[in-house]
């Protein structure tokens, strides 16, 4: 914590004797300490578009929402970026090549400069629709630098530790520092059928700012999630869990949710996509969880499988475009704000 004068001895007659340079340095240190990591969950109605703004001002955009729709999702992202003071996307991380995640890349690139395009490499979906989607992304990618990542790689964003934990169907082979403990939830979490789609190849990232940790695994499906935490938890715990695959029940296994042990979950679901009752209950019942915040009210879930309205950004089915903002301090404390009603809740450092 900043202390007045940073320990300098004041003259009893006048504080004007404090060296000007030392005073300016102290004030500068105070201003730097006050900066937070800001995270915006943009409403792209069942897709993903999450904007991270580091204390340094650098930006990380995870996915771009849907294509078409008169540039609806690109417009929404651009509006939130303007609000956040972001004039360019320093890193666009494309988790995988599905329309609701990469479809809006070209439209976003037409509105904001994108310096670096981060992905797992070529798509495994080579049917006509999959190839068209991938080719459109490749064309947009020509406007920046391409970075193909593998598990264990890091993105050089000033002030943040961004480590890739999954990519291209592979997971980090070794536990991260401080992790590696046995995960008892693995014993009762059965495998599902293998997933041959792009979902299972999603790029997942663990993002750390000081003592605050959050994780985004894109649409990584059940078996691939569990490779990260079974039989031992290679990730450790997080403060905030960005629910995998929009809160669908082919992801969000008890093994990974319990291993991550989040205090808060944020679900980037749509009204009729994601937010399945089984996944919602798995997250809701996770030991230590305090709250679930949702981008949309999940119609399938009804009142019993949705959070209180105050913590849901969009309670109407379509068109509202309200977002959720998380602001995290270096000590691990953070606040969550719903743009629809300005409801804000703070979570103390632990």
- Give pLDDT, residue 318: 85
Judge whether residue 52 has pLDDT over 80.
Answer: yes
Spell out the SS3 assignment of 117-180: EEECCCCCCCCHHHHHHHHHHHHHHCCCEEEECCCCCEECCCCCEEEEEEECCEECCCCCCCCC
Confidence (pTM): 0.90
Q: How many CA atoms lie within 13 A of 271 on its CB side?
A: 9
* Percentage of residues in the chain having pLDDT higher than 70: 90
Average pLDDT over residues 19-24: 41
- Reduced DSSP (H G I as helix, E B as strand, rest coil) percent helix, strand, coil of the chain, to 5: 30, 25, 45
Judge whether residue 19 has pLDDT over 90.
Answer: no
Take residue 298 and report the two structure tokens written for it.
């999940």
Dist CA 292 CA 284 (whole Å) = 7
Residues 321-348: tens digit of each pLDDT: 999 999 999 999 999 999 999 999 999 9
- Give pLDDT, residue 17: 40
Residues 233-246: tens digit of each pLDDT: 999 999 999 999 99
**pLDDT grade for 24, boundaries at 50, 70 and 90:** very low
- Give pLDDT, residue 319: 81
Residues 186-223: tens digit of each pLDDT: 999 999 999 999 999 999 999 999 999 999 999 999 99
Dist CA 188 CA 244 (whole Å) = 20
Average pLDDT, the chain: 92
Q: Which fold has domain 37-344?
A: Metallo-beta-lactamase; Chain A (3.60.15)
Average pLDDT over residues 104-127: 98
Take residue 173 and report the two structure tokens written for it.
């082979």
**pLDDT grade for 14, boundaries at 50, 70 and 90:** very low
Judge whether residue 155 has pLDDT over 70.
Answer: yes
- Give pLDDT, residue 29: 42
Q: How many CA atoms lie within 13 A of 256 on its CB side?
A: 27
Q: Taking phi first (over 0 means left), then psi (-120 to 50 degrees means alpha), and beta for anything else, what does residue 71 get?
A: left
Domain residue limits, the chain:
37-344
Judge whether residue 64 has pLDDT over 60.
Answer: yes
- Give pLDDT, residue 30: 39
Task: State the CB neighbour count (10 A cutoff) for residue 322.
Answer: 18
Q: Look up residue 81 and give its DSSP letter.
A: H
Is it true that the peptide bond before 324 is cis, omega within 30 degrees of 0? no
């Amino acid at each position: 914590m900043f202390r007045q004068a940073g320990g300098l001895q004041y003259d009893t007659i006048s504080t004007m004797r404090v060296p000007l340079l030392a005073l300016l340095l102290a004030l500068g240190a105070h201003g730097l300490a006050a900066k937070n990591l800001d995270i915006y969950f943009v409403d792209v109605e069942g897709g993903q578009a999450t904007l991270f703004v580091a204390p340094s001002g650098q930006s990380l955009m995870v996915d771009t929402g849907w294509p078409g729709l008169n540039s609806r999702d690109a417009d929404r992202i651009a509006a939130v970026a303007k609000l956040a003071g972001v004039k360019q996307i320093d890193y666009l991380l494309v988790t995988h090549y599905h329309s609701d995640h990469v479809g809006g890349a070209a439209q976003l690139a037409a509105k904001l400069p994108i310096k670096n395009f981060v992905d797992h490499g070529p798509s495994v979906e080579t049917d006509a629709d999959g190839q068209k989607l991938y080719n459109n992304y490749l064309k947009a990618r020509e406007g920046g630098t391409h970075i193909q990542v593998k598990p264990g790689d890091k993105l050089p964003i000033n002030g943040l530790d961004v480590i890739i934990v999954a990519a291209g169907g592979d997971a980090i082979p070794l536990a991260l520092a401080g992790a590696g403990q046995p995960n008892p939830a693995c014993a009762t979490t059965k495998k599902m059928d293998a997933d041959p789609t792009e979902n299972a190849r999603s790029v997942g990232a663990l993002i750390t700012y000081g003592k605050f940790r959050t994780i985004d695994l894109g649409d990584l499906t059940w078996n691939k999630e569990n490779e990260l935490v079974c039989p031992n938890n290679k990730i450790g715990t997080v403060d905030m869990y960005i629910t995998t695959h929009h809160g669908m029940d082919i992801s969000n296994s008890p093994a990974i949710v319990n291993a991550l042990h989040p205090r808060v979950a944020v679900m980037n679901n749509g009204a009729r996509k994601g937010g399945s009752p089984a996944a919602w209950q798995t997250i809701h019942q996770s030991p230590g969880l305090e709250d679930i915040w949702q981008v949309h009210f999940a119609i399938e879930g009804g009142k019993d499988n949705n959070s209180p309205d105050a913590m849901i950004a969009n309670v109407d089915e379509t068109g509202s475009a309200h977002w959720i903002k998380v602001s995290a301090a270096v000590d691990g404390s953070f606040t969550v704000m719903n743009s629809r009603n300005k409801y804000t809740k703070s979570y103390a450092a632990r």
